Every structure is written in C-alpha cells, then in structure tokens.
Amino acid sequence: MPVAFAVSTAPADQVKADLLAVPVFAGNLLGPGADAVDRALGGGLAAFMTEAGFEAKTGQTLAVPTNGALGASAAVLVGLGARDELTVDAFRKAGAALAKGATKVASVVTTLAEAAPAALDRAEVGQAVVEGVLLGGYEFLGYKSAPMPSKLAEVTLVSRAAATLRRGVERGATVGSAAIWARDIVNTPAKDLSPVEFAKSAQRLLRGKGVKVDVLDEAALKRERCGGILGVGMGSQQPPRLVKMTYAPTGARGTLALVGKGVVFDSGGLSLKPAGGMETMKTDMAGAAAVIATMSVLRDLGVKAKVVAFTPMVENMPSGTAIRPGDVLTFRNGKTAEVLNTDAEGRLILADALALAAEAKPDAIVDLATLTGACMVALGERIAGLMTNDEPWGDQVRAAADQVGEPVWPLPLPKDYEKLIESELADIRNTATSTYGGALTAGLFLQHFVGEVPWVHLDIAGPSRAPSDNGYVRKGGTGFGVRTLAEVATRFRKPRRK
Ligand code: BES
Ligand code: MN
Ligand code: ZN
C-alpha cells in the first residue's frame, strides 16, 4: 500500500495514531518527544533502555509500553546515533527503521524531523525521513501467491517549522516514489519485461507528467542508423526499442541529456555468461529505469532546465540470428566497432544513444549503466564509478550524489589506455586487449560517442542491486541513481566552459 504523509504542528503525544516514533541519540540521550514516552513509563525510560540493551545506534529501534498514557496506542524509540555527528543520511536510515518496525500498524506519528540540528537543512531532513520510510518499507510482492504486505498507510511528521518541513516531505514523497518505480521495474523478471513492454511501461508512467515520449521501433532504429542497438538486439525474439523523452519547461535554462542502459536481460549473447553470472542479469536495465523514473518527476520537482533522455532497450541473447564475435557494427555517428565479445553489449547500445544525445547539443550529458564487473572489482557493491571528460561537470554530479547519499567515486579515463581498444579492422574494438582496467576501457569506448559535450558516465553495476537488506536499501533492485539524477536536474546550471 502506498504510504501517505502529513505534517502537523500538534504536540506529538496528543496526535491519535497507532504508533508514536521518537528519536533517541547515542548515549541514550532523549530526542524531541521522547520525554512524553518517559512520562508514560513513569520516568522509567532510561532504565528500560539499559535493560533492553538499546544504544540508539543509527536505525536501531526499541518498542516501549506506554500504558495508554499517550494519544498513540504504542511507542517506539528510533536511534539516530551520535548527536554531534548527525547527517541527513542518518534521518533516511531512521525513516527506514521506522517503516520496518511499523509493518503491523496503519498509522504512525513521529517527531524524528524535530531532531534536526540547526546545521542541517530542515527541508532536506524531512525529505530524507520520507525517502527512508518509502525505500526502507519497500517490498516486491507481485510474484507471491499470498502476499502479506505491510499495513503502514499513514505517517504524520510533527514539527514547529511545518512549512519548511512540508516542502521536504513533498519532495521526498515524489523522489522516493520514483525510486520505487525503478525498483519494481528492475525486480520484474525479463520474461515479463521485454523491450516492447519496457517501452510501454515508460509511456504509461510518463503520461500526464509533462514529458513527450517517442518510441523508436526496429524500422525507426534502422532509419536512424542505430547499428549498435539493432546489432545487439538481433539475437533475441524480442525486438529492440529506443525511448526518447523530452521535458521542455517554458523559459528553460540550459539543456541536460540523460542516457540509461536498458538491457532487459544479459545472457552474454554468443559469448555466453556462466550460469551464476546470469542469475541477476534482469538487473541490466537499471540505468534506463532510473532515467525514466527521473523524467517522471521533473515537473513536480519544478526543474527549470530542459531535459532530454534516451534509453536503448534490448535483450542480449544467443541464437542463429545473434551478432557474432568478429562482426563489425556501424553506430549512429558513423563510427565502427569490432565486436570481439558479445557480452560487452552495453557500450554498443549506449554508443547510439550517446551519439543521439550529443546531437541534441545539450550543455551536459549523464549516462547510467550497469556496465562492467570490473567496476565492482574496483569499488564493490555499493559505490558507483564516475568517469568524466569535464572535471567541473563531474564535480557537479558528484556533489549531487553526495548530497542525496548515493555513493560515487571518480575513476580516470586515461588517454594512454586508448590503444587498448584500437582495432585493426574497425575504428575501435568492444573489449580491451588487457584484462585489467575494464571499467576504464568501457568508459573510453563510450567517450567516442559524446563529442565535445561535457559528459559523466556512472557505472552502476555494483549499487544497482543489493545482495541483502541494508537500511533503506532493500535486497534486489535499489533504484540507484534516481535520487542523484533528480538532484542533478534540480540544481542544473550550464557547466562553466574550459
Ligand atoms: N551487464 C554486464 C556487467 C555486469 C556484471 C553488471 C555483473 C552487473 C553485475 C556487462 O554487459 C558485461 O557483461 N560486461 C562484461 C564486459 C567484458 C566482456 C569486457 C564484464 O564486465 O565482464
Ligand atoms: Mn554483458
Ligand atoms: Zn550487460
């Protein structure tokens, strides 16, 4: 059930709800509203916390009996960690803990946002709590025969600064719901998400959202000379698509282009993956999902820039009609590549999409792609690799990612490694001649298609999927990138020229 959010200035202990959630800091320092819980316990809260081994670590919760003394029927303490080390992300984690501890009740009232120190922006804190509730409480139950969803339906945030908080709460609900759409679509099995279905899902989501959507079918892709998308799509019974999206507010300042990898399933093609490597390859469209989800909220977020987006959608399969190692593809911008490994397919479809994006003459491009296992070797499962041809633009994207708590880390695009992707037959080859530095050589391949446009490539192979629950990240598709892209679009300024 979608959770609804409200903001109230009423005293928390008087609001009628099933559950009152109050913050506690490390050292069991009571946060705003916790005094009412202490009174309900007859002043015994400190002893109760000690007995229960509660330390108020970030995201730790403790249910407390309230003896009918509060407006709410029950209370729960939510840990925020050390008071002098509070970050916005701690509030996101606390929101997640609240949602996970409230699956059996319908309504919660919470003073969490009141715990924001002066140094933190109250709207950002409200946004984080709401995002935490939505993302932490997320469940994907569509394939269960007898689903038992969380009962949580309404969360009321109490605050004295209600107007500021309300702005953040709205933004959090908007961005959080978009990330949930991305998670759902990433978690959907590839049997039910062909490129055609994926394109239709995008159209459905974007209807009435102020975004123009064009879907290019095979004939249109041929007309537009998208040899990479057509080449990778050749092996599958499911034809490829390219979804082009345009958000053009009146009086737009600057143009941002987004590109997302949409491989609905990556078997590797004729360069077949081993069985284990294929298990999670329905995730290989997470970049496209994040881009589409972001497009759906630009108007609600009041984004002032024009945003154009391109998401190529294919299924990478082996068959008698599949592309072969040794084949050469010609992309949208006229460049050619020798395909030596059909499992390096992401760069082949992104080549066309990036060329189209660059043709639109945007001020900057960001692409998101589950591109390489090598990036996971370098940065692990939680951090995305950031590569760029323009340091100031890279800094802007990184600042946005840092602000929303999606970890990214810079990787280089070394000129010197360019020779690793030189081909004797074509302009470039799709796998490097070295087994090392695979994230970088993939980035260098993409760079051939962006021309002079400031561009950031985010390799999200690691963080697009989580191997287990972790705070507001739930096992499975994570929706990584939606919050960063929403922030990038909101703050967008033309990058300073070199
Ligand atoms: N989709 C994969 C990358 C990937 C691997 C994402 C594991 C998430 C988890 C990509 O298409 C791929 O197969 N890349 C190859 C490239 C290689 C053949 C040069 C890889 O990383 O092994
Ligand atoms: Mn692959
Ligand atoms: Zn792939």
Beta bridge partners of 263: 314
Ligand 1 closest atom vs CA 346 = 11
- Each residue's pLDDT tens digit, 166-205: 999 999 999 999 999 999 999 999 999 999 999 999 999 9
| Pocket-testing residue among 278, 343, 460, ligand 1, by greatest number of atoms within 8 A of Cβ | 343
pLDDT at 43 over 60: yes
Residue 330, classed as helix, strand or coil, is strand
pLDDT at 213 over 60: yes
Distance CA 175, CA 123 (A): 14
Give the predicted TM-score (pTM) of the model: 0.98
Give nearest CA residue, ligand 1 atom 6: 461
- Each residue's pLDDT tens digit, 218-250: 999 999 999 999 999 999 999 999 999 999 999
pLDDT at 382 over 90: yes
Mean pLDDT of the region 408-422? 98
436: amino acid identity, one letter: Y
Distance CA 478, CA 138 (A): 10
**Taking CA 271 as the corner, what is the angle to CA 267 and CA 277, rounded to the nearest 5 degrees?**
45
- Each residue's pLDDT tens digit, 444-456: 999 999 999 999 9
- Each residue's pLDDT tens digit, 349-374: 999 999 999 999 999 999 999 999 99
Which among 242, 368, 251, 366 has a CA at the least distance from the CA of 306? 251
- Looking at all shown ligands, the one closest to residue 267's CA atom is 2
Ligand 1 pocket check for 124: Cβ under 6 Å = no
Distance CA 136, CA 130 (A): 10
Q: Which residue has the tokens 């929101």?
A: 95
- Each residue's pLDDT tens digit, 84-112: 999 999 999 999 999 999 999 999 999 99
Q: Which residue has the tokens 């900057």?
A: 364
Ligand 1 closest atom vs CA 283 = 8
pLDDT at 498 over 60: no
Please name each of the domains of the chain with its CATH number: 4-159 (3.40.220.10), 182-490 (3.40.630.10)
The confidence score (pLDDT) of residue 254 equals 96
Give the DSSP letter string of 245-269.
EEE--TT--SEEEEEE-EEEEE--T
The confidence score (pLDDT) of residue 65 equals 87
Whole-number Å distance, alpha carbon 370 to ligand 3 midpoint, is 6
The confidence score (pLDDT) of residue 68 equals 86
> Given pLDDT bands bounded at 50, 70 and 90, which one contains residue 495?
low
Residues recognised as catalytic: 273, 347
Ligand 1 pocket check for 372: Cβ under 6 Å = yes
Give the DSSP H/E element, type plus range, for residue 282. none
